[in-house]
């Protein structure tokens, strides 16, 4: 039986999962791909460290060239993370005609397009399903399963940490800080949770999904990002009473050839499929022109789920390698990047204001909106805690981002408006 040799970069949680899977499912994998898969070298920092999985000592090396320049290694698995050094390492591997399987969303979001082009020039492939929503074969589904369709919109819960936090805040009516602490204690959030809670992790993943779906090179910098730090219990309570659930959603949409990508807290109708995705689970909701609504749901992270994605990609790379082919997946972007302007981005908004509880307040506020041609789906007024003040919560019909910004400025100028407490996008009601 033929043999394929693999160099594994990284032996952390995912790398360990990959070794375990290759070992535990060896027979079935060999049967499926018609080839033995051998780990030849594993790149680690610390050669002496105790490992959670049985490995051969001679596999370990701290020298990248022992993998990327190795004449017998056909495929490099990159599960060590990092951006710039890892980019150089993979460039070298590609120039040496080695296929790449990676779980590195940071790298792919920043350097992905360039690496994909380089791989195509060198007749090899980069597979990266593990880099977005680890256990869900979303990349595969977008490139193959839905290949025939035009993707119009993607809405993704692609960060397990923030979804866990928001689920607990909603279901158990707790505030952000204590839930974050609990998440950290349970391992659902990092000691430094910035990348997750500020939406940066989700933004990187949405960059990849948007590029694939719209076949244009959208950059990380084109993604507007708002995290979850400022979501209060009151926001959640108001949203719930109006029939919504708040989630951190990555939204990528395209209209008349112009795209927009953002990550922001978003109100979804309570019974929207995405609204029901709980805790650390991820889900990607895809709206295709012909297929309609589909959704892919599963674990977003974790050693074994991510390892299944890496090894499934590895099996594809092995099959390609044996057949002497490549490039069955990657397609250079077909379209020039075109992004929507603010006056072309249409969505509903939920706005909370603290106002004077006096005659004429409501009138003055509605005048601001009428001047901008904005009408409402829902309005709620309640007494506030503070004397002689009230809270007004409004859900607009679809308006442009430009209309929103102008209204906000004009509202702030009103003497009756003390402050705009919060405002969020509302989606999923089409």
Q: Nearest approach, Cβ of 113 to a copy of itself (angstroms)?
A: 17
Q: Under the criterion CB under 8 A, does residue 95 sit at the interface with a copy of itself?
A: no
Residue 10 annotated as binding site: yes
Rounded Cα gap, residues 16 and 327, in angstroms: 28
Q: Nearest approach, Cβ of 232 to a copy of itself (angstroms)?
A: 25
For this structure, is 41 an active site residue?
no
Q: Which is nearer to a copy of itself, 102 or 312 (CB)?
A: 312
Whole-angstrom CA distances from 258 to 142, 293, 389 are 19, 21, 43
Query: x-or-dash pattern for a copy of itself, window 120-149, by CB under 8 A?
Result: ---------x-----xxx--xx--xxxxxx
Q: Which of 153, 168, 205, 345 is catalytic?
A: 205
Q: Which is nearer to a copy of itself, 172 or 371 (CB)?
A: 172
Contacts of 109 (CB under 8 A, 6+ apart): 203, 204, 205, 207, 208, 220
Rounded Cα gap, residues 310 and 137, in angstroms: 10
Residue 15 annotated as binding site: yes
Q: Nearest approach, Cβ of 96 to a copy of itself (angstroms)?
A: 23
Residue 11 annotated as binding site: yes
Q: Which is nearer to a copy of itself, 78 or 391 (CB)?
A: 78
Handedness of CA 333, 336, 337, 340 (dihedral sign): negative
Residue 294 annotated as binding site: no
Q: Under the criterion CB under 8 A, does residue 288 sit at the interface with a copy of itself?
A: yes
Q: Nearest approach, Cβ of 159 to a copy of itself (angstroms)?
A: 17
HEC string of the chain equals CEEEEEEEECCCHHHHHHHHHHHHCHHHHHHHHCEEEEEEEEECCCCCCCCCCCCCHHHEECCCHHHHCCCCCCEEEECCCCCHHHHHHHHHHHHCCCEEEECCHHHHHHHHHHHHHHHHHCCCCEECHHHCCCCCCHHHHHHHHCCCCCEEEEEEECCHHHHHHHHHHHHHCCCHHHHHHHHHHHCCCCCCCHHHHCCHHHHHHHHHHHHHHHCCCCCHHHCEECCCCCCCHHHHHHHHHCCEEEEEEEEEEEECCEEEEEEEEEEEECCCHHHHCCCCEEEEEEEECCCEEEEEEEECCCHHHHHHHHHHHHHHHHHHHHHCCCCCCCCCCCCCCCECCHHHCEEEEEEEEEEECCCCHHHHHHHHHHHCCCCEEEEEEEECCCCCEEEEEEEECCEEHHHHHHHHHHHHHCCCEEEEEEEEEECCCC
Using the rule CB under 8 A, give the single segment among 65-73, 244-252, 287-295, 422-430 that binds a copy of itself.
Answer: 287-295
Query: x-or-dash pattern for a copy of itself, window 200-229, by CB under 8 A?
Result: ---------------x--------------
Residue 156 annotated as binding site: no
Residue 328 annotated as binding site: no
Rounded Cα gap, residues 367 and 294, in angstroms: 40
Using the rule CB under 8 A, give the single segment among 216-224, 298-306, 348-356, 417-425 that binds a copy of itself.
Answer: 298-306
Query: x-or-dash pattern for a copy of itself, window 327-356, by CB under 8 A?
Result: -x--x--x----------------------
Q: Which of 12, 81, 243, 273 binds a copy of itself (CB under 8 A)?
A: 273
Q: Under the criterion CB under 8 A, does residue 237 sit at the interface with a copy of itself?
A: no
Q: Under the criterion CB under 8 A, does residue 302 sit at the interface with a copy of itself?
A: yes
Q: Nearest approach, Cβ of 386 to a copy of itself (angstroms)?
A: 38
- Count residues binding a copy of itself (CB under 8 A): 54
Q: Under the criterion CB under 8 A, does residue 243 sit at the interface with a copy of itself?
A: no
Q: Nearest approach, Cβ of 338 to a copy of itself (angstroms)?
A: 16
Query: x-or-dash pattern for a copy of itself, window 4-43, by CB under 8 A?
Result: -------------x---x---x--xx-xx-----------
Contacts of 91 (CB under 8 A, 6+ apart): 115, 118
Q: Which is nearer to a copy of itself, 175 or 276 (CB)?
A: 276
Q: Under the criterion CB under 8 A, does residue 315 sit at the interface with a copy of itself?
A: yes
Residues with active-site annotation:
205
Q: Which residues are known binding-site members?
A: 9-16, 105, 190
| Sequence ranges of the binding site for NADP(+) | 9-16
Binding residues vs a copy of itself (CB under 8 A): 17, 21, 25, 28-29, 31-32, 129, 135-137, 140-141, 144-150, 215, 271, 273, 276, 281, 288, 290-299, 302, 304-305, 307-312, 314-316, 319, 323, 325, 328, 331, 334
């Amino acid at each position: 039986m033929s043999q394929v040799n693999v160099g594994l970069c990284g032996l952390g949680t995912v790398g360990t999962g990959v070794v375990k899977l290759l070992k535990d499912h060896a027979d079935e994998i060999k049967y499926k791909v018609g080839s033995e898969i051998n780990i030849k070298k594993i790149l680690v920092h610390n050669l002496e460290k105790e490992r959670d999985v049985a490995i051969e000592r001679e596999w370990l090396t701290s020298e990248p060239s022992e993998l990327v320049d190795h004449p017998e290694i056909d495929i490099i698995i990159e599960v060590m993370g990092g951006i710039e050094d890892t980019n150089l390492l993979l460039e070298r591997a590609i120039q040496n005609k080695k296929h790449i399987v990676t779980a590195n969303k940071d790298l792919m979001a920043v350097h992905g397009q360039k690496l994909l082009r380089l791989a195509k020039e060198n007749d090899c492939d980069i597979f990266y399903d593990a880099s977005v929503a680890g256990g869900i074969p979303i990349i595969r589904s977008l490139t193959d399963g839905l290949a025939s369709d035009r993707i119009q919109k993607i809405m993704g819960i692609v960060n397990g940490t923030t979804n866990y936090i928001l689920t607990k805040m909603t279901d158990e009516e707790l505030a952000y800080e204590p839930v974050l602490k609990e998440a950290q204690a349970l391992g659902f959030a990092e000691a430094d949770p910035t990348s997750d809670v500020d939406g940066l992790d989700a933004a990187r993943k949405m960059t990849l999904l948007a590029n694939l779906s719209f076949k244009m090179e959208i950059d990380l910098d084109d993604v507007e990002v708002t995290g979850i730090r400022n979501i209060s219990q009151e926001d959640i309570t108001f949203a719930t009473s109006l029939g919504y659930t708040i989630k951190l959603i990555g939204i990528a949409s395209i209209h008349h050839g112009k795209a927009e990508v953002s990550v922001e807290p978003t109100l979804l109708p309570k019974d929207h499929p995405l609204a029901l995705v709980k805790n650390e689970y991820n889900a990607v909701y895809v709206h295709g022109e012909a297929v309609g609504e589909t959704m892919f749901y599963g674990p977003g992270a974790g050693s074994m789920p991510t390892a299944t994605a890496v090894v499934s990609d590895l099996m594809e790379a092995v099959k390609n390698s044996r057949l002497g082919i490549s490039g069955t997946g990657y397609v250079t972007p077909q379209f020039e990047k075109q992004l929507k302007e603010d006056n072309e981005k249409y969505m509903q908004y939920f706005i909370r204001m603290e106002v004077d509880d006096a005659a004429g307040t409501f009138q003055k506020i509605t005048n601001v909106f009428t001047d901008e041609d904005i009408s409402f789906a829902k309005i709620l007024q309640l007494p506030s805690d503070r004397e002689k003040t009230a809270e007004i919560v409004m859900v607009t019909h679809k308006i442009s981002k430009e209309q929103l910004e102008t209204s906000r400025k004009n509202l702030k100028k009103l003497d009756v408006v003390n402050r705009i407490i919060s405002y969020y996008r509302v989606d999923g009601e089409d």
